[in-house]
Amino acid sequence: MIRHAGLCVLRGAACLLAALVASVAAPVAARAAEPPVVAAASDLQFALEEIAQAFAAATGERVRLVFGSSGNFARQIRQGAPFEVFFSADEQYVEDLAREGRTRDAGVLYGIGRLALVVPRGGPLAADASLADLRAALGDGRLRKFAIANPEHAPYGRRAEEALRRAGLWTDIKPRLVLGENVSQAAQFALSGAAQGGIVAYSLALSPRIGDRAAYALLPESWHGPLRQRAVLLKGATPAAERFFAYVQAPPARAVLRRYGFAVPGETG
Residues forming the site for another protein (CB under 8 A):
3-4, 6-7, 9-10, 13-14, 16-18, 20-21, 23-24, 27-28, 34, 37, 42, 45-46, 64-68, 76, 78-83, 182, 184-185, 187-188, 191, 207, 209-210
Please identify, using beta-carbon distances, which residue of 31 and 105 lies nearer to another protein.
31
At closest approach, how far in Å is the CB of 16 from another protein?
A: 8
The residue among 174 and 259 lying less far from another protein, judged by its C-beta, is 259
> Residue 183 CB, nearest distance to another protein (Å)?
10
Q: Is 235 exposed, middle or buried (0-12, 13-18, 19+ CB in 10 A)?
A: exposed
Query: What span, in angstroms and rounded, lies between the C-alpha atoms of 184 and 204?
Result: 7
- Report in angstroms how near the CB of residue 190 gets to another protein at its nearest: 11
Give the nearer residue to another protein in terms of CB position, either 23 or 171. 23
Q: Measured from the CB atom, is 66 or 129 closer to another protein? A: 66
Of residues 37 and 54, the one with the C-beta less far from another protein: 37
Q: CB of 201: closest distance to another protein in angstroms?
A: 13
H helix or E strand, kind and range, residue 48: helix 47-59
- The whole-angstrom separation of Cα 103 and Cα 243 is 16
Residue 162 DSSP SS3:
helix
* CA-wise closest residue to 227 among 101, 92, 42, 65: 92
C-alpha distances (whole Å) from 106 to each of 29, 92, 102, 207 are: 33, 11, 10, 30
